[in-house]
């Protein structure tokens, strides 16, 4: 879908290339593109072109040109963003940057979006690594439980703190959080059932009842 402005407001930007500025009519977009890519105007010319363009295309179809913020403009915007993620006095910053308030507004909106995207990506990465380590830990513990269950006979080594009697190895498990051996015989069945269940990360974040 083509994005065309609902009105011919001042939002449209055209760039006047030095040497071609005298031309009263807009060049076709293809020829403008070549000029833009190969001949970057001076910073002053950029700013001037950002501010000046209030006139409209004579043929009624204003080509949407892309504005590139100068390094100084970006630096100032970033600095302002660091101080506050929301824009309070819109006009003053715009004036300082020689941009329109709307441009500064849009920049902040986009900047917030980028910031959020970055954070989401980092969180996703973190959760992936966490899931991997939990999976590995789960595998280890399952193996350990299998081994313990295999040793059905043999001298009991754990004494129940409640009954003060030896516990059978088959009832033993390891708390994934504190990595201490606990007995399912000492706990309600619901808690014991969590060992073999696939525990989602959000649940395993909570401290185990055994601790």
Partner DNA sequence: AAGGTCAACATGAGGT
Partner DNA sequence: ACCTCATGTTGACCTT
Residues that bind DNA (CB under 7 A): 1-6, 11-13, 15, 29, 32-33, 36-37, 40, 63-69, 74, 86-87, 102-103, 105-114, 116
- Name the residue nearer to DNA (CB basis): 3 or 153: 3
Q: How far is the CB of 102 from DNA (least distance, A)?
A: 6
Q: Could you tell me which residues come within 8 angstroms of residue 141 by beta carbon, excluding any fewer than 6 positions away?
A: 173, 174, 176, 195
Q: Minimum CB separation from DNA for residue 128, in Å?
A: 19
Give me the torsion for CA of 96, 99, 104, 106, rounded to 10°: 180
Q: Is the Cβ of residue 66 or residue 152 nearer to DNA in the bound state?
A: 66
Q: Match 């609902």 to its residue by tokens.
A: 6
d(CA 174, CA 198): 15
Q: Which is nearer to DNA, 7 or 190 (CB)?
A: 7
Burial pattern 50-89, b for ≥16 Cβ within 10 A else e, equals beebeeeeeeeebbebeeebbeebeebbeebbeeeeebee
> Residue 22 Cβ, how far from DNA at the closest point, in Å?
19
For tokens 């824009």, the residue is 87
Among the residues of the chain, which ranges form H helices? Answer: 29-38, 43-52, 71-83, 90-97, 101-150, 189-192, 201-204
Least distance in angstroms from the C-beta of 147 to DNA: 46
Nearest distance in Å: CB 126, DNA: 18
Q: Which is nearer to DNA, 41 or 176 (CB)?
A: 41
Cα gap 170→132, rounded to integer Å = 27
Residue (36 or 144) nearer to DNA, CB: 36
User: Of the two residues 37 and 153, which places its CB atom closer to DNA in the complex?
Assistant: 37
Rg (CA), the chain: 33
Work out how close the CB of 118 gets to DNA at its nearest, in angstroms, rounded to a whole number.
Answer: 10
């Amino acid at each position: 879908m083509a994005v065309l402005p609902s009105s011919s407001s001042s939002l449209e930007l055209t760039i006047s290339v030095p040497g071609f500025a005298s031309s009263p009519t807009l060049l076709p977009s293809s020829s403008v593109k070549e000029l833009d890519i190969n001949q970057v105007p001076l910073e002053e010319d950029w700013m001037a072109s950002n501010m000046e363009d209030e006139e409209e295309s004579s043929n009624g179809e204003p080509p949407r040109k892309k504005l590139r913020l100068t390094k100084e403009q970006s630096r100032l915007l970033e600095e302002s963003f660091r101080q506050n993620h929301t824009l309070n006095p819109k006009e003053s910053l715009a004036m300082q940057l020689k941009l329109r308030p709307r441009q500064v507004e849009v920049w902040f909106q986009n900047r917030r979006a980028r910031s959020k995207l970055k954070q989401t990506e980092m969180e996703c990465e973190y959760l992936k690594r966490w899931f991997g380590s939990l999976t590995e830990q789960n595998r280890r513990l399952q193996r350990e439980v299998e081994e313990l269950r295999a040793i059905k006979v043999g001298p009991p080594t754990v004494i129940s703190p409640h009954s003060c009697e030896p516990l059978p190895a088959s009832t033993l498990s390891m708390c994934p959080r504190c990595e201490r051996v606990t007995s399912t015989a000492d706990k309600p069945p619901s808690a014991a059932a969590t060992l073999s269940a696939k525990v989602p990360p959000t649940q395993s974040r909570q401290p185990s009842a055994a601790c």
